[in-house]
Chain A
Amino acid sequence: MKLKVICRLRPPKCGWSLVTKTCLPARQAFLIMKLSIVLLITACLQVQAAGFAQKISLNEKNTPLANVFKQIRKQTGYYIFYKDEVLKQAGNPKITIQVQNVLVDEVLSRCLSNLPLTYSIVENTIIVKPKVDPPAVAEAPAPRATITGIIKDEQGNPLPGVSIRNKRTGGGTSTDAEGKFSITAELNDVLIISYVGYESQQVTVTSLQQQIDITMKIAASELESTVVVAYGSQKRKAVTNAVSSVASQEIVTTKNENVQNMLTGKVAGLNVVQNTAEPGSFNNSINIRGLGEPLVVIDGVPRDNMTRIDPNEIESVSVLKDAAAAMYGVRAANGVILITTKRGKKGTLQLTYSGNFGLQFPSGMPRPLDAIGYMTLVNQQELHKVNGGQITYTPEDFEAYRSGAKKSYDWYNAVIAKSFEQTQHNLSATGGNENTTYFLSLGYTYQNGMLKSNDLNYKRYNVRSNITSNLNKNLTVDLNLNGIFDTKNQPWEDAWWIIRSIWRQNPLDPFYANEDPSRPFQGSVDGTNPISLSNSDMTGYKTYNNRWFQSSINITYKIPFVPGLSARGMYSYDYRVSENKLFQREYNQYTYDESNGSFTKFVRNSPHSIRREYIARPSTLGQLSLNYEQTFGSHHVNALALYEESSRESDNFYGFRQLSLPVDQLLAGNALNQLTYADTADLFKFTNRALIGRLNYSFQSKYLAEISFRYDGSSRFPSSGRWGFFPAASVGWRISEENFWKNARALAFVNSFKVRASYGKLGDDKDARYQFLSGYYYPAAGDNNRLPPGSVFDGNFVNSLQSTGIPNPAITWYESKTFDVGVDAEAWNGLLGVTVDFFNRDRSGLLWTRDLSLPGVVGADLPQENLNSDRTQGFDLEINHRNRLGQFSYFAKAIFSYARTQIRYFERARAGNSYLNWYNNGDNGYLNNRWAGVYWGYGDGGRFTSFEDIYNVKIAQDRNWLPGDYIMEDWNGDGQISELDIHPIGYSGRPLIQYGITLGGSFKGFDLNLLLQGAAKANVAYFEQLNTPLWGSNRSSALEQFMDNWHPADPTADPYDPNTVWVSGRFPYTGTVPPTNSKVNMQNAAYIRLKTVELGYTIPSTILSRIGVKGVRIYANGYNLLTITKLKYVDPEHPSDTYGYLYPLNKSVSAGINVNF
C-alpha cells in the first residue's frame, strides 16, 4: 500500500483510516506512537502556525489534480491525504480553475465536482477519496461560514479572553479586548464558550449568518469544578475529605526556581519554609499541617522531583490532608501532595511561550566589619579582663586607617555581587483531534548565585510529552514522558563555608600578599581567603548533575455491555541518575614578611584530586484497576478496586584519585591512594505491593459517604508483619440541599453548605531500617572524624564489620489515626467561599530505641521499637472572595493554618527526682503529655545598666560582670543562675502558624496579583558568628551589628573602673556572650512578607492579530520584596542550621512575557 502524504510530520491518529478505509492495526498504532514520542518533541515544535486562512486564489489551466493539491497545500498549510491509485482510478484528471479569495471548501468542491472523488476536512487536514465510499461520508459537505459574535458580562461589559471552541472540530479562539470573536463553523455545530469564574455555555449554530451575542454569568460556585483526589478525581461538591487544591494559573504568579516556593501561602495547611536560595540546593522544609515530610505523587506515581518540576507543566496541585491519604497506605501518614501535569486540548496547535528574566539580591545577609570596627571590638575584648587587659591596637593604628595610610579590606564586596541574574523560559504546545491530543513542553531555568566569580550557578532543562489517544471508542491510552536534566556548579568549597569565611576574614588582611595580584593572601583565620575559596579556577569545582527520566503508560478500557465499568492498567518506569564530579585543585597563597621582604608560600588543596560519583535510582510502579460508576435513580455509586506493585532501587559507586597534574579527569590519576567504593546509604531496594479499594455513595447528591482501604505490604519489614490494613471512611451532608434549608428565606444567601467528617488509619515505613535482621553491616560505618571503618594491620587498611545489634523481629511502621471535620460553604453566589477544617492526628508506635532504659553494660545497639506516640492538632481555614465591579474584576483568598504537636508517650529512663525528670527529659523537648517543639533555656532577667545594678543584684555576683551584660532570669529563685533555671522559653522547629493572603484583580488589560505570606509562633536562635563577635579567634572579624553595643565612651578606658562612662547599645560589651539557650539570644521569627507581587498587561488582540499572535501578556514580578519582622539582621526564614551560615534567601525582581501563537 502506497500512501502519499503531502504534509510535514503530524500527530498520529487512528483517523488515518479515513484514507485507508480501515483502521491501522493496533500494533502498528503503538509503533507509530512510540516513534512519534521521539519525533514529537522536535517535530511539533517545528510545525508552523502558518496559514490557517481558509481562503485561497488559484489560476490553473489543465493542471494535474495532484499539482492543484500542492497549490492548496502551499496556500493554506492544510495537509492533503490521498492515494495515488485513487487519482489513477479517477483518470489522473487535469483541472482548470480560476478563483480569487475563495474558501477551500468551495475550491475543492469545484475541482472535484465532476470527478468520482470526494473529500473531507478534519481540522487542517483534507482527505481525498473515491466517491463510492460509504454513504455516511458521501454526503455533500455541510455549508460552513465564519461566525462572529460578541461576549459580555451581566453588566454589559465586553469580556476579553473568553474561550470559544467548536465542539465538533475542536478548533478554538478567544475574544479580543472588545469581547469580539470569529470562528469557522458548520450548521448545527455546537460552540462551547467558557471563561474562568463564569458558567460555561453551549450555543448551537442555527444559521451561518448568525451573529452570536452572549452574556456570561458569573459561576455560582466552584462546586462543579473537579478536584484531583487519590487514584482519580471528584466533583468539588461531592468531596467528603479535606482536600485543598490550587490550579496552574495561581501557582505561576510567584516566580521561583522551586515549585514548593511557588506554593507558599496558597494552600491552607501546606507549610513551606525556604531555608536558602542557594542555586541548586533546593533546601526547603515542607509539610502538611505540621506533620512531617509528605508523600509527593506526580501523575499517579510517588516521585522525588517536586522541587525540579517545571511549573508550566503543572495543571493542578491537590493536597490530601486527612484520611483520604490512607489510599496511599504505608507511606502516607504525613499526607499526600498530588501533582497533575497538563494534558493536551483538542484543537489546532497552540504554542505558548513564557519567559522571564530577573535579578536576585540577598535577603538579610549581614556584613563583616571594616578595620576600624574590627580593631575597636578587639580592643574591647582585650580590655574586658577583670585582672587587667591591654589594648592590641593603639590610637596610632586607628589613625592610620582613618587617614587612609593603611587600607581596610572589604571582603564582602570582593566576593559577593550586588545582584545576580535568574531566567526561565518555557515553550509548550498543545493540540490534537478527536482521537489524539498532546501536550509538549520544553523548559529552561538558569539561576546564578551571589558569588562575583559566577562559579555558583544552576541550570535545568525540562522536557515533557503527554499524549492521550483513543484507540477506539472504548480504549484510551495515555503516555507521559518526562525528562529533567539539571546541573549545579559550585566552587570546591560549599557556599556556607565561603560565607563563614567572609564573615571571619580579618579586614586588616590584604586581598593579595604585598598587593601582588598573582599572590592571594594566606588569611590569618585558618589560612582562608574568600576570594580564592569562591573561585573555581583556584580551588577546583564540584558539579552535581541529576537526570530524571520518567515514563508512564496508562490504558483505560471501557468494558462494553456493562455501562459504567472500566478497567485500567498503568505502568511506570522512572530512572534517576546523579552523576557528580568533584575536582580539588591545588593552589598557592602567600604571606609577606615586611622585615626581610620575603614571601612565604602555602600550598593549599594539595594534591589535586578528583572524585566521580555515580548514583542510579530506577523505580517501577504497576497498577491494575477496575472502576465502576453508575447512577440508579437517586443513588450514585462509584467503586474502585486496584492492585499495585512498586519497587525503588538505588545503586552507586564512587571513584577517587589523586592527580599530579590539574587535569580534571579520572584517567589522569596516580596509583597512590586511588579509591573505589560504594556508599551503603545509596544501595537499596525497596518493594511494595498493595490492594486498594474504594466505594463512594451518594443519595440525591445530598448524603455522601466514602469508604476506602489499602492492604499494603512493604519489604522493609519481616515477613510475619509486613502487611498492613489501612482503612478510611468519610461522610458528608450537603445541608443546603435539604428542603428546610432551601425554604428558609434567612438562609437563602447561602448557596451551599456542607459538613463532612473523615477518619482513617495510615502508616509510615520511611524511617524503618532492617532491624529485624541480625548479622553485621559490612563494611562498618566510619569516617575520618570519628571511628574509622576498620583497622590497619601490617600497614594495610582492613575494612571491618559492624554488628547490627539486637534484632527486633516485631518491628513495624508507626500508625497514624487521622480525624478531620470540616465545613464547606458558599454564599452570595460565589462572592464568599469558606472552608474550615479541624483535625487531630494520633500517631502510635513511633520508632525509638529503648537504650535510655536499658543498662549500658548490655553493650549492644538496641533496635528501634514501636514505642512512642504523639498527637498533632490544629485547624486550617480558607476564605475566597471573587467579584466584578464594572470592568474591574478581582479576587481575594486567605488561608490560615495552625498545628501543634504534643508528646503523648516517650520512652525514657526515670530520673532521680521530679525536677530532673522534668528537666533532663525536657531538654530534648521529650516528655509525656508535653508540647513538642519547645525551646529550653534561660529567661531574660534584664541587663545591668550600671555598676549600681551589679552591686544590687539579688543573685550571686560574678566579678567579671560589666554594665550592659545580660542578667539570666533566676527562674527558680534560689539566688543563683544554674542549669536549674532552664525552662521553656520559646518555640523550636517550624512555625506553628502560617498564613497567606492572595489578592488579584484585573482592569481592562491590566492584572495585578499580590501574595502576602506570613508565619508566627516561631523562634530562632543563632550560634557562632551570629551570636559572638570575633568568634573563634581574635583574628576573626565580627558582623557589623555588633558595633551597636555597650562600651565605655572612652575606648581606652578601663571598663572595670566604676567611674567609666558607658554608652548603651543593643549588644553587650565585646567578650560578653549570652548563652545560646537564653531568651536574649533567641529572637521572634514571626514575619509577614510580600512574597509575590505581579503586575501584568495583556496586549489587545486587535494589535496582535496583525502579527499572527493570539495573545501577549507582559509582566513585572517581585519576590520577597518586603518583609515585616522583629527579627534583626537576617531573614526570618533563615535557619540556624549549619551554624546560621546557609546561603541567604533572596529577593528578586523580574520581567517576563507570555505569548500565545
Chain B
Amino acid sequence: MLIFKQAIMKRYIYTAIIVLTCFMNACTKLDVPPMNIIQDEDVFTSPGGIQIYMARLYSELPIEDFRYSPARGLNHFWIISPFSAITGEALSRDQRNAMSEAVLYWKDAYKLIRETNYFLETLPQYAENFEASEVTHWTGEAYFIRAFTYFSLAKRYGGVPIVRNVLKYPEQDINQLDLARASEEETYNFIASDLDSAIALMDESSERGRANKYVAAAFKSRAMLHAGSIAKYNQVSLFDANQKRLCGIPAAKAVDYFKLAYDAALMTEGKYSLYKKAWSAGDKEAQYKNYVDLFFDEESAENILIKGYSFPQSVHGYDAYNVPLQAMGPNGYSSEISPTLDFVELFDGFPKNADGTLKNLDDNGKYIFYDNTMDIFANAEPRLRATVILPGDFFKGESIEIRRGIYTGPVAGGVSPLIPVGSTIQYPTTNIVQSANGSQTPYQLPNGELMNPAGKSGTFFSEETNSQTGFSIRKYLDESIDKSQVKENNLDQSWIEIRYAEVMLNRAEAAFELYLAGQGANYQQDAYTQINQIRERAGAELLPSAGALTDVTIIRNERRKELGFENKIWWDLKRWRILDKEQNNRLYRTLMPFYAAENGKYFFDVRKDEKNRFYTFDPKWYYVEIPPDEVAKSTKLIQNPGY
C-alpha cells in the first residue's frame, strides 16, 4: 500500500516537473530582431531593392507641388497660403499679407543628401549584382537627386555647407561635423558639376517619375538661369571671415551661368515638344481644350519630370481646396485661390485701357453693360481661360456664377462707379443688394423672378470660401472627377515638375540675357523663336519680329502667364529681385460683376481688394533665414543678413 502511494506520489511529481519545465524546453531567446528591419544586403542585390531605395529618395525630393505651401512646407496635406497667394497671382482667404517661407527647409535637405551620398558610396560595393550600365545610370540618378536638393537650398539660403560624403557620427567628433557655408558661387558650381555627372551617366529614358539624362539637362537650365539671375540682379552681400561670399555672386559670372543654362536647354531640343494633341490653328476652343489637357495627359511629350500620385497611398487634395464654390465637394472646401485682376491683365483678348488695365468704363466714365459676364472675355486668350475660370465660364458643364451683388438703382444715363476708383472702402448699401454668405435671401427682380444677390460661387461680403476677386483658379482642376470625390487626400493627378515649355522659357530668357550682354543677335532671334512657339500654342498674339523683343519684361511676363500657378513664379520674382518693388504696400485688384436689376445687364467694377490685404515684401527675404537652432549649435554657420 505504501509502495503504491509512493508510486502515485512519483507520478505527481513527474507530472509536476513536466508541466513546470515545459516552457523551459522552448527556452525563450533574447535575440529577437524586429520584423520590419532590412539590411544593405537585402537592398543592394536586386533592381527591386534599388527601386525601393529610389522610391524613398524621390518621395523626399523637394518638389514644391500640390502639397507645398510656404506656410506649411513640403508634403503637407492641408494647403493654406499657397505660393500664388504671396506672388500676387492670387488672393487667398488664409493669406492676409506678404510673407516669406515660414517652414525652413534645411534638415530634411541634408537628410536626403545623406541618403544620396550613402547610395553613392554603397552601390559600388554591390556592383557585381548588376549590369554595369545599370550601376552607371543609378549613380547618375543619385547625382541628379543631390543636385536637385542643393538647388532647393541654394535658391533659399545662398551658399550652404556642401556635404559630399556620409558624415560619420559618432566616429567623427561633433566639431568635425560642424561645417561652414560654401560661397553661393561654389554652391551653384557644385550643382552644375553634379548635374553634369548626371547628364553624362544616365540613360536617355527612364520610368515616369524618375530622372534621365534630359531631365538632368532640363533641370540644369533652371538652376543655372537662377544662378545667372542672382549674379546679375542680386544686391546683397555677405562675406565670411575669409572673404568668401556666402550671399551673392560676382556680376561678371552672370554670362557664364546664362550660357550654361542656354546650353543645357539646347540639349533637350528634339527630345521633348510642346503638347499640342488637341490643338488646332485658329481654333480657340481647341487651343483652350489642348491647354487644359496638357496637365492631365500622362503620355504628354511636354512632360519632363512628373511627380506621380496614387490613391490611397499617396494623394493630395488640390481640387478639393480650389474648385469654385458651386463645384464644392462634400467636405466643404473651395476657392482657396482667387486669381487677381493684375494677373489676368497680363493676358490678351479683352478690352484694355492704354495702360493695359481692363477697360470697364466707357469714355464718359460710366460702366459698360454686358448681357452676361463672359461677354467681356469673349475673345480671351485660350491659355487664360485654361488657367483662370472667368466669371460665367464653364467648368464641369456648369456656368460658374460669380456676381458681387444686384444693383437696384437707376441705369438710365449710365451708372457711375459705385465707389471712387482706387478706393478701398466697402460698397454702399443703398442701391446694392448683396449677400454676407452662401445662405442667400433671394431678391425679387422687376420682372418678378427671384435672384440671389451673389452668384453661386460668390462673391460674398463676409464669407471668404468663394471667389474673392471675380475669378477662380482653373489650371490643374480635373473636370473628370465626380463631385463626390472632390475631397482632401483623395486625388491623384500627377504634378508636372518640369515641362518643356519651362525649358523653352529658360532658353529664351538665358538667350535674351546673353543678347543683352552682347553675346550676339542670334540669341535674340532664338529667344523670339521660343516665345512665339509658346504664344502660338497658347493661342496668344504673336510677336511680330525678333526686333520686337526689346525688353526682358516681355519674356518674364510670358513666363508668368505660361507657368502661373505652377509654384515657379515665386522663385522667378525673387531671382529677378523685383518682388520688393512689386509688393510695396500693394493692394491687388479685383473684378466685381454686378447685375443691374433695371436693365437685366451686367457691369464690372474694378477695385482694390475689399479685404485690404496689403502686401509689402521685406528685401531681407531674398535670402531666407537659416534655421536659428542650426546657427545656434554651430560655431561656423553664419546667419543671413537681417535675421
Hey, which bits of chain A sit against chain B, CB under 8 A?
Answer: 22-23, 25-27, 30, 378, 382, 387-388, 390, 392-393, 471-472, 475, 508-509, 522-528, 553, 555, 557, 569, 571, 586, 589, 593-596, 602-607, 620, 622, 624, 645-647, 656, 673, 675, 680, 683-689, 713-715, 719, 722, 770, 773-780, 782, 784-804, 806, 852-862, 909-912, 916, 1033-1035
Complex: chain A residue closest to B36, CB-CB: A680
State A1034–B60 Cα separation when bound (angstroms): 37
Task: Judge whether A857 and B330 touch: CB under 8 Å.
Answer: no
Collect the chain B residues with CB atoms within 8 Å of residue A802's CB: 56
Q: Shortest CB–CB separation between residue A691 and chain B, in angstroms?
A: 13
Complex: chain B residue closest to A788, CB-CB: B314
Q: Shortest CB–CB separation between residue B325 and chain A, in angstroms?
A: 11
On whether A689 and B28 interact (CB within 8 A), knowing A508-B439, A595-B450, A790-B314, the answer reads: yes
Complex: chain A residue closest to B172, CB-CB: A858
Task: Judge whether A524 and B9 touch: CB under 8 Å.
Answer: no
On whether A687 and B439 interact (CB within 8 A), knowing A775-B40, A776-B37, the answer reads: no
Q: Shortest CB–CB separation between residue B475 and chain A, in angstroms?
A: 21
Task: Judge whether B462 and A475 touch: CB under 8 Å.
Answer: no
Pick from A522, A604, A792, A857: contact of B110, CB below 8 A.
A857
Collect the chain A residues with CB atoms within 8 Å of residue B24's CB: 622, 624, 645
Complex: chain A residue closest to B174, CB-CB: A854
Complex: chain B residue closest to A643, CB-CB: B24
B408 located at the interface, meaning its Cβ lies under 8 Å from any Cβ of chain A in the complex: no
State A786–B76 Cα separation when bound (angstroms): 5
Collect the chain B residues with CB atoms within 8 Å of residue A604's CB: 330-331, 484
- Point out which of B59, B163, B313, B632 has the most chain A C-beta atoms below 10 A from its C-beta: B313
B38 located at the interface, meaning its Cβ lies under 8 Å from any Cβ of chain A in the complex: yes
State A646–B298 Cα separation when bound (angstroms): 55
8 closest A-B pairs by CB? A569-B20, A792-B308, A859-B114, A603-B484, A622-B23, A859-B110, A527-B332, A800-B56
State A30–B18 Cα separation when bound (angstroms): 13
Interface hits, B613-643 → A, CB 8 Å: 627, 629-630, 632-634, 637
Task: Judge whether A791 and B314 touch: CB under 8 Å.
Answer: yes
State A860–B118 Cα separation when bound (angstroms): 11
State A798–B56 Cα separation when bound (angstroms): 9
State A553–B629 Cα separation when bound (angstroms): 57
Complex: chain A residue closest to B208, CB-CB: A794
Complex: chain B residue closest to A22, CB-CB: B4
Collect the chain A residues with CB atoms within 8 Å of residue B379's CB: none
B209 located at the interface, meaning its Cβ lies under 8 Å from any Cβ of chain A in the complex: yes
- Point out which of B36, B38, B440 has the most chain A C-beta atoms below 10 A from its C-beta: B36
State A390–B311 Cα separation when bound (angstroms): 45
Task: Judge whether A800 and B30 touch: CB under 8 Å.
Answer: no
Collect the chain A residues with CB atoms within 8 Å of residue B22's CB: 571
Collect the chain B residues with CB atoms within 8 Å of residue A472's CB: 9, 12
State A378–B425 Cα separation when bound (angstroms): 20
On whether A525 and B332 interact (CB within 8 A), knowing A645-B27, A910-B633, the answer reads: yes
Task: Judge whether A392 and B450 touch: CB under 8 Å.
Answer: no
Collect the chain B residues with CB atoms within 8 Å of residue A855's CB: 174, 177-179, 630, 633-634, 637
Pick from A392, A780, A852: contact of B56, CB below 8 A.
A780
Task: Judge whether B310 and A797 touch: CB under 8 Å.
Answer: yes
State A555–B15 Cα separation when bound (angstroms): 10
Q: Shortest CB–CB separation between residue B63 and chain A, in angstroms?
A: 11
Q: List 13 A-B contacts (CB under 8 A).
A: A27-B15, A390-B426, A472-B9, A526-B333, A557-B13, A602-B329, A602-B330, A606-B485, A773-B34, A793-B58, A801-B52, A857-B177, A857-B179
Complex: chain B residue closest to A24, CB-CB: B8
Collect the chain B residues with CB atoms within 8 Å of residue A852's CB: 629, 633
Complex: chain B residue closest to A390, CB-CB: B426
Collect the chain A residues with CB atoms within 8 Å of residue B333's CB: 526
Task: Judge whether A792 and B209 touch: CB under 8 Å.
Answer: yes
Dominant SS among interface residues on chain B: loop
B77 located at the interface, meaning its Cβ lies under 8 Å from any Cβ of chain A in the complex: yes
Collect the chain A residues with CB atoms within 8 Å of residue B438's CB: 524, 1035
Interface hits, B532-585 → A, CB 8 Å: none
State A688–B30 Cα separation when bound (angstroms): 7
B106 located at the interface, meaning its Cβ lies under 8 Å from any Cβ of chain A in the complex: yes
State A798–B115 Cα separation when bound (angstroms): 18
Interface size on B, residues (CB 8 A): 112
Q: Shortest CB–CB separation between residue B208 and chain A, in angstroms?
A: 5
Task: Report B167-180 CB contacts with A as 1/0, cut-off 8 Å.
Answer: 10110001001110
Task: Judge whether A792 and B33 touch: CB under 8 Å.
Answer: no
Complex: chain B residue closest to A807, CB-CB: B170
Q: Shortest CB–CB separation between residue A679 and chain B, in angstroms?
A: 10
Pick from B37, B53, B115, B452: contact of A777, CB below 8 A.
B37
Task: Report B105-117 CB contacts with A as 1/0, cut-off 8 Å.
Answer: 0110111111100
Collect the chain A residues with CB atoms within 8 Å of residue B20's CB: 555, 569, 571, 624
On whether A794 and B23 interact (CB within 8 A), knowing A593-B452, A603-B483, A852-B629, the answer reads: no
B600 located at the interface, meaning its Cβ lies under 8 Å from any Cβ of chain A in the complex: no
Task: Judge whether A856 and B627 touch: CB under 8 Å.
Answer: yes
Collect the chain B residues with CB atoms within 8 Å of residue A607's CB: 484
Task: Report B94-124 CB contacts with A as 1/0, cut-off 8 Å.
Answer: 0000000000001101111111001000000
State A804–B111 Cα separation when bound (angstroms): 12
Collect the chain A residues with CB atoms within 8 Å of residue B106's CB: 856
Task: Judge whether B308 and A795 touch: CB under 8 Å.
Answer: yes
Task: Judge whether B612 and A382 touch: CB under 8 Å.
Answer: no
Task: Judge whether B331 and A782 touch: CB under 8 Å.
Answer: no
Collect the chain A residues with CB atoms within 8 Å of residue B307's CB: 792
Task: Judge whether B75 and A858 touch: CB under 8 Å.
Answer: no
State A861–B115 Cα separation when bound (angstroms): 11
Collect the chain B residues with CB atoms within 8 Å of residue A555's CB: 16, 19-20
Q: Given A687-B30, A773-B37, 19 more contacts at CB 8 Å? A: A475-B16, A525-B332, A555-B20, A557-B13, A603-B484, A604-B331, A606-B482, A673-B312, A688-B30, A773-B34, A780-B56, A788-B315, A792-B209, A792-B314, A793-B207, A854-B177, A858-B110, A859-B112, A910-B632
Interface hits, B381-437 → A, CB 8 Å: 425-426, 429, 436-437
Task: Judge whether A686 and B19 touch: CB under 8 Å.
Answer: no
Task: Judge whether A806 and B169 touch: CB under 8 Å.
Answer: yes
Q: Shortest CB–CB separation between residue B376 and chain A, in angstroms?
A: 24
Collect the chain A residues with CB atoms within 8 Å of residue B178's CB: 855
Pick from B58, B169, B208, B450: contact of A860, CB below 8 A.
B169
Q: Shortest CB–CB separation between residue A761 and chain B, in angstroms?
A: 20
Q: Shortest CB–CB separation between residue B399 and chain A, in angstroms?
A: 14
B51 located at the interface, meaning its Cβ lies under 8 Å from any Cβ of chain A in the complex: yes
B361 located at the interface, meaning its Cβ lies under 8 Å from any Cβ of chain A in the complex: no
Q: Shortest CB–CB separation between residue B73 and chain A, in angstroms?
A: 9
Task: Judge whether A785 and B426 touch: CB under 8 Å.
Answer: no
Task: Judge whether B34 and A801 touch: CB under 8 Å.
Answer: no
Task: Judge whether B167 and A26 touch: CB under 8 Å.
Answer: no
Collect the chain B residues with CB atoms within 8 Å of residue A791's CB: 54-56, 58-59, 209, 308, 314
Complex: chain A residue closest to B72, CB-CB: A786
- Point out which of B43, B179, B207 has the most chain A C-beta atoms below 10 A from its C-beta: B207
Collect the chain A residues with CB atoms within 8 Å of residue B38's CB: 775-776, 778, 801
Collect the chain A residues with CB atoms within 8 Å of residue B19's CB: 553, 555, 569, 571
Pick from B30, B170, B331, B627: contact of A689, CB below 8 A.
B30
On whether A859 and B463 interact (CB within 8 A), knowing A569-B19, A684-B34, A852-B633, the answer reads: no
Collect the chain A residues with CB atoms within 8 Å of residue B55's CB: 790-791, 793, 798-801
Collect the chain B residues with CB atoms within 8 Å of residue A680's CB: 35-36
Q: Shortest CB–CB separation between residue B576 and chain A, in angstroms?
A: 30
State A624–B34 Cα separation when bound (angstroms): 28
State A390–B610 Cα separation when bound (angstroms): 12
Q: Shortest CB–CB separation between residue B482 and chain A, in angstroms?
A: 8
State A852–B612 Cα separation when bound (angstroms): 41
Interface hits, B322-342 → A, CB 8 Å: 328-333
Collect the chain A residues with CB atoms within 8 Å of residue B29's CB: 687, 715
On whether A673 and B311 interact (CB within 8 A), knowing A26-B15, A472-B12, the answer reads: yes
Interface hits, B181-237 → A, CB 8 Å: 207-210
